Amino acid sequence: MGLGPMHGGLERSAHELGKRVAVRSPEYSWSFAELDRWANALAGHLAGAGVGPGARVALLMANRVEFVVAVHAVSKLGAATVLISPAWKTAEVNAALALTEPVHGLTDTEGLSLLAGPLGRDQVTDVDDPVVATLAAGGPAPERRVVAPNSEAVLVFSSGTTGLPKAVRHTHESIGHATAHWVGALGLSAADRFQIATPPSHILGLLNLLVAMSAGVTVRLHRRFDLDEVLRCIGADRMTIEMAVAPIALAMANHPHLEDFDLSSLRYIMWGATPVTEPVARVVTARTGVRWLPAYGTSEVPVIAANPVARPEQWRLDSAGLPPPGVELRVVDIDTDAELEPGGTGEIQVRSRSCMAGYLPDSATAESVVDGWYRTGDVGYLEPEGWVHLTDRLKEMIKVNGFQVAPAEIEAVLIGYPGVLDCAVFGIADERAGEVPVAAVHLDPAASVTAEELQQLVADTLATYKQLRHVIVVDAVPRLPSGKALRRSLRDQWAPALLGSPAEA
């Protein structure tokens, strides 16, 4: 499989597979050839709006076929797609746009107001507009452009330690290697079928769409996650692979009628975004007979490890698996950066041609990539044979359902509120989400501020996955002389009492 530009996979499948179904939705199905013709027509529309090589286009859209078309249309022009989460609110979207400076926006009617304000209505394409919708009939291919392997292809967002978003810049070469790694890790062929309910603005959702177009896989898109519908479609469409993150796995384990659904066509269920919760995984397998394929990746290096798909007798729930060919791993001492022997616990670092080109802002790159090794911020160890074990987080980022949440972003919302003298946000373990945010707040005794009030403040300001599970009132926030909050100390102190307790102070 050649790498080529990001849109090359769709073009190749359109040529080789033609009328085979590429994408299904509840209403329609589209072939690979139809998607490619649609992407050509949309590329022509965007070129007419001034989008050209090197430009960036903001894409804000949920799981719908237009997302697939848009990513490939932008790539055909030699431009780069900036993935904006539909879960974000105005302040989050504005910060992302200011950082990446797109010249145009692509969205649907639901997201139009979020992009039209900052970019200008004339520079936003609404795919629900009747005129734009006619592009689905296809159109001539845009002028053929030579896309340099090291040019930007897509930007995805990862929270920064300052609370401001960081844009992860992937080139056609890096995303091409990541796509090839994921095709190999999942053992994909044109005989496979899987569903995508994970947000396409997340690296996992995007990668699943790219590998499907590249390997000739048929995918079913779900705009919103409904477990019963997902389970029903496995049997109805004879799905061969199912994708799951921790909340989906837990929902399956707790489903009262799981055995009523026909899951016999599945080769496995892939568990990603968070470490496997073994008891949950074992319950699902015991009830369905379907096994799990754990995997591990980040926005910066999309595929770091996976259980060996061709050797199911070796699959394990206690390890994220082995690095794919072309990915090197090492573990270094947290204090000295000295490389450790197998079995030594430290920070996991990765070197791969699938690694990002860098961050926006550029200043964030130097501390994350050292001598070609990406510092994951994950703590763990490697077995002599290369099996990866994750044990902790070195970075203070909170991983909620696979999304990175910066404590400082939530703190910035709280600290400006009347009555809040100081605060620190940290994460605690959660069976469903992996981790959830908790705020320790120091309040002015004269103020009448409640935990519920602060939780609502964050809910009104930030995306749903950034909402506070608990607010605890403390006499003082522990800090170093430098002023750095001791979030890990707060976690160690409060986590035992909070685990299993109701979401209140």
Return the CATH number at 308.
2.30.38.10
Q: What is the DSSP string of 298-311?
A: -SSSS--EE--TT-
Mean pLDDT of 233-248: 90
Banded model confidence at residue 269, pLDDT cuts 50, 70, 90: very high
Mean pLDDT of 301-306: 97
28 located within any domain: yes
Rounded Cα distance, 450 and 371, in Å = 48
Rounded to 5 degrees, what are φ and ψ at 467?
-70, 150
Overall number of domains in the chain: 3
Query: Which pTM value belongs to this model?
Result: 0.83
Rounded to 5 degrees, what are φ and ψ at 87?
-80, -15
Same domain, 195 and 53: yes
360 located within any domain: yes
Q: What is the CATH number of the domain that holds 440?
A: 3.30.300.30
Same domain, 419 and 384: no
pLDDT of residue 121: 94
Among 368, 393, 418, residue at a domain's last position: 393
Same domain, 372 and 414: no
Q: Among candidates 62, 28, 59, 405, which has minimal Cα distance to 225?
A: 62
373 located within any domain: yes
Same domain, 483 and 354: no
**295: which residues sit within 8 A by CB, 6+ positions away?**
185, 270, 271, 272, 303, 305, 306, 307, 320, 321
Same domain, 66 and 183: yes
Among 372, 393, 414, residue at a domain's last position: 393
Among 393, 417, 446, residue at a domain's last position: 393
Dihedral sign for Cα 451, 454, 459, 460, please: positive
137 located within any domain: yes
Q: Report whether pLDDT(505) > 50.
A: no
Burial class (CB in 10 A: 0-12, 13-18, 19+), 496: exposed
User: Which residue range is the domain that position 129 belongs to?
Assistant: 8-224
Q: Among candidates 40, 369, 365, 62, which has minimal Cα distance to 202?
A: 62
91 located within any domain: yes
Mean pLDDT of 371-395: 89
Same domain, 451 and 372: no
Q: Report whether pLDDT(140) > 80.
A: no
Mean pLDDT of 415-444: 89
**What's the pLDDT tens digit per position in 23-63?**
998 889 999 999 999 999 999 999 999 999 999 999 999 88
pLDDT of residue 504: 43
Rounded Cα distance, 94 and 76, in Å = 26
Banded model confidence at residue 80, pLDDT cuts 50, 70, 90: very high
The answer to whether the beta carbons of residues 340 and 150 sit under 8 Å apart is no
503 located within any domain: no
Same domain, 364 and 406: no
pLDDT of residue 501: 54
The answer to whether the beta carbons of residues 261 and 231 sit under 8 Å apart is yes
Rounded to 5 degrees, what are φ and ψ at 233?
-70, -25
Same domain, 355 and 417: no
